[in-house]
Amino acid sequence: MLITFGALAAFFAIVIIVLQASGIRDRNFSEYAVGGRAFDARYQAMSFLNTWYPGSMFTAFGAMAASSGVISFYVLTYSLLTVVLMYLMARPVWVWGKTFDLRTQPDLLSLRFGSRHIKTIAAVVGIVSGIPWLVLGMQALGTLFQYMSLGTLSFSQAVITGVAVIALRQIWTVRMGMRGVVISDMVQGIFAYIVGTAMLVGLIVWMVVAKDITFASLEPRMFAIPSHGSTEGPLYVFSLIFTGAIGGWCWPYIFVRLFTADGVESLKKSAALAVPLSLVFCTALLIFGMFASKIPGVAEHPNDVWFIVSQEAGGLWLLGLAGVVVLAASMGHTDGNIQATGAQIANDLIGNYWKLEERQLILLAKIGMLGLTVLASWLACLELPALFSLGVLAYQGIIQLAVPQFLGIFWRRGNAYGAIAGMMVGFAIAVALELVFPGYLPWAYGLTSGAVALAVNLAIYVAFAYGFPETEAERKRVDELFDLVEKRRASTAPLHPQPAE
C-alpha cells in the first residue's frame, strides 16, 4: 500500500502545489464564476475533457465495453458530436457572455428570453439533475480506494476514504472558484487522458502480444448492435447518441466552459484540440474493455476491469498509476460540478431575486459549494440502490433544457412562454415515462423517455413561437442580440485583397 497510496498522495500533492503557486485572488464574482474569461485553447480543451470524461469512464464504460462490446462505442460518437456543437455554439454564447457579463447557463437563457423566471427554473433543473451524478462520482472512488488498499478496506470503508479525499480537495475549489478549477484541470487532464491513453495503448499491446487477444478471438455477441427485431428496438442506438450529444451542453458544469475562454477563436481551437484527444482516448478505452473481456476475473467483476488488467500486466506500480489516472478524472468532474452549482445557487437562485454585492455573491457561492460537498459526501456514504437509476432519470430530464437553449441560440423566433412551458412539460413527461419504462420505450421503437419528451417540448416551443408572436419591442431586442453576434463575426472576418484592375 506504500506504493499504491503513495502514488495517489504524490499526485494529490502536485495538484495542490500548482494551485497554491498560482496565487489566485478573484476581485469580483465574474472572476470567481468564470475565471475572468482568461483561458486559451489549451486550457479550454483540457478543462472540457476533464469535466466531460469522469473517473467512471474507466469503470462504468470500461465495464460496458467488456460486457456488451461495440454498442459501447455510442459514447465515442456522441462525445465527438458534442465537441462539434461546441464549435458551432462558440460565437453566440461567448459574445453574449462577454458583452452582458453572463456567468451561468441560466444567465444566457434569461438574457435570450427576457425572463427572470426561466433563470430560476433552469437552475433548479440543472442543480437537481447534477446531484445523483455527483454522488455516483464519489461512490466510484470507493472501487478505486478498495483496489489501492489491496482489499484491506471494505467497500463502505473505501467509499468513506474516497469521499474524505475529494472533500479535502474541495477546500481549494471553494477558495479559488473557476480559475482554480481550470488550472487544476490542466494537471489532472494530462494524467487522466494523456498518461491514461498511453497506459490504455500499452495494455492493449500487452493483451495482444502476451495473451493473444484480438478482435477475431472475441465472442460474436460483442459485435451485436440493437436493430430491427432486437429487444431494445431499431431507434435505441440513435436515441442514445442523439440525447447524449445534445445533452452534453445542457449540464451547467459543461456549459460554463463556453464562458471561461479568452475569445471565440480560443473556443474553436479548443474544439479542434479536443476532437483528436477525445477520439484517441475513448477509442483506446473501449477497445481495451473489449479485449479485457477475455482476461480472467473481468467477466465476474466488469466494473473493476481497469484495475484487474493493470495489476496483472504491471503489478503494484502500474496499479498505483491506474489509481492516479482514475483519481485525476474523478477530481475534474467533481470539482466542475460543485463549482458550477455553487455559482448557480448564488447567481440564479438567491441573486435572481435579491440585489447583492460582488463579495456577497462570492460568499454565497462558497457557502453553496461547501453545503453541496457536505450533502453529496453524506449521500455517497449511504447505501442507495436506486442511485444509478436516478442518474439515468436525471439525464432524461436535463436534456429538456436543449430546446430553449439551442433554438434560443440559433433561431430568432420563440418566446419565454413557450420555452418555460415546453421545458416543464418535457421534464414531467421524461420523468413519468422513465419511471414506467426505464431505459427505453418498447412502443416507441427503442426511443428513450427523454427523446420522446424532447419531441413534445419542441412542439410546444414552436407552437408558442407562431401562436404568440413577440411584441415589436421584444422582436427588436432579440434582433439586436443576434445582430451583435453578426457584427462580431464581420469584425473578425479576414480581409480579402481586392483584385487589381
- Residue in 99, 185, 50 with CA at minimum distance from that of residue 491: 99
Q: What contacts 24+ positions apart, CB below 8 Å, involve 294-298?
A: 294/207, 294/211, 294/213, 294/217, 294/218, 295/207, 295/211, 295/213, 298/66
Residues 125 and 423: beta-carbon distance below 8 Å? yes
Taking phi first (over 0 means left), then psi (-120 to 50 degrees means alpha), and beta for anything else, what does residue 445 get? left
> Side-chain half-sphere of 76: how many Cα atoms within 13 Å?
19
3-state secondary structure 78-108: HHHHHHHHHHHHHHHHHHHHHHCCCCCHHHH
Residue 39, classed as helix, strand or coil, is strand
Please state, in angstroms and rounded to a whole number, the distance separating the CA atoms of residues 171 and 219: 47
Cα 391 to Cα 439: distance, rounded to the nearest angstrom: 12
0.85 cut: is pTM over it? yes
Please report how many Cα atoms fall inside a 13 Å half-sphere around the Cα of residue 201, on the Cβ side: 8
Q: What is the pLDDT along the chain (501 residues), one digit of tens a residue?
A: 999 999 999 999 999 999 888 766 667 888 888 888 889 999 999 999 998 998 888 988 899 999 999 999 999 999 999 998 988 899 999 999 999 999 999 999 999 999 999 999 999 999 988 888 888 888 778 888 988 998 898 878 888 888 888 888 888 888 888 888 899 999 999 999 999 999 999 999 999 999 999 999 999 999 988 887 778 888 989 998 998 898 889 999 999 989 999 999 999 999 999 999 999 999 999 999 999 999 999 999 888 899 999 999 999 999 999 999 999 998 888 888 888 999 999 999 999 988 888 889 989 998 998 898 888 888 877 776 655 677 778 888 899 999 999 999 999 999 999 999 999 999 999 989 988 888 889 888 889 999 999 999 999 999 999 998 888 999 999 999 999 998 877 766 554 444 433
Alpha-helical (H) ranges within 35-154 are 41-52, 56, 62-68, 74-99, 105-113, 117-148
Structural domains present in the chain: 2-22+37-387 (1.20.1730.10)
